[in-house]
Amino acid sequence: MVPPAMEPFKKLEGVAAPLNMINVDTDMIIPKQYLKTIHRTGLGKALFDEMRHNQDGSEKLDFVLNKPAYRNAKILVAGDNFGCGSSREHAPWALLDFGIRCVIAPSFADIFYGNCFKNGILPIKLPQEMVDKLMDDASRGANAIISIDLEAQEIRGPDGGMIKFEVDEFRKQCLLNGWDDIGLTMRNEDKITSFEKQQHTQAPWL
């Protein structure tokens, strides 16, 4: 069996941070000066850099992820059109490296939405009124514990209320099993090896 290429996502429970902003673009998530690296780790410190830090590098204490209750947030509840702008894959890398494994919003930019699934992050689209409810739940600080069950497609808030969400079945299975694009390819490793051997025999000049 091929080991998962990324950490599987089955159930998640943690603090949810409220980011009540619309049109949060990928340059806000991870500014362009951090795009030189090809490594997926180490970007968490630069997540929302211009909103989290002053020019001297010190923290802006009023930004949500700098508040003690949200420093270890695993879930982000955000506004409409999250992840718009350029298609940089560093945006989900930075979220994941910080510890965010789920983003809930009314809508997402298409490329960012797809990149989340490919990197082990679950983006959940919900109607505005449901996002507003979760945003209110998240405002409770350290008590804003939200649990997400991907298999059942359920979100449970701190008051025990339950919200169902939709997700594409193929993308759901990829997250549950930890399959990124490479992982999906390697599921056919035996067939690939067999083809290569056959081709070498039939066309050794290639």
Q: In the chain, where are the structural domains located?
A: 11-180
Q: Is the separation of the CB atoms in 34 and 175 below 8 Å?
A: no
- Per-residue confidence band for 136, with pLDDT thresholds at 50, 70 and 90: very high
Count the Cβ atoms, other than its own, within 10 Å of residue 149: 14
Predicted local confidence at residue 2, as pLDDT: 41
Predicted local confidence at residue 3, as pLDDT: 41
Residue type, 140: R
Q: Classify 197 as helix, strand or coil.
A: helix
CA pair distance 190, 196, nearest whole angstrom: 10
Which one has a higher pLDDT value, 181 or 128? 128
Q: Residues 55-84: what's their mean pLDDT?
A: 97
Predicted local confidence at residue 184, as pLDDT: 58
Predicted local confidence at residue 142, as pLDDT: 82
- Per-residue confidence band for 124, with pLDDT thresholds at 50, 70 and 90: very high
Predicted local confidence at residue 87, as pLDDT: 86
Could you tell me the end-to-end alpha-carbon distance of the chain, in angstroms, rounded to an integer?
Answer: 30
What percentage of the chain reaches a pLDDT higher than 70?
87
11-180: which CATH architecture? Alpha-Beta Barrel (3.20)
Residue 76 burial (C-beta neighbours within 10 Å; 0-12, 13-18, 19+):
buried
Predicted local confidence at residue 180, as pLDDT: 72
Q: What is the signed CA dihedral for 66, 29, 94, 12, rounded to 10 degrees?
A: 70
CA pair distance 8, 22, nearest whole angstrom: 29
Which one has a higher pLDDT value, 56 or 197? 56
Over the stretch 144-180, which tens digit does the pLDDT of each residue have? 899 999 999 999 999 889 999 999 999 999 999 999 7
Q: Would you say residue 195 has pLDDT above 50?
A: yes
Report the run of H or E that residue 122 belongs to, with start and end: strand 122-125
Q: Would you say residue 4 has pLDDT above 50?
A: no
Q: Residues 137-150: what's their mean pLDDT?
A: 92
Give the chain's mean pLDDT: 90
Largest CA distance in the chain: 67
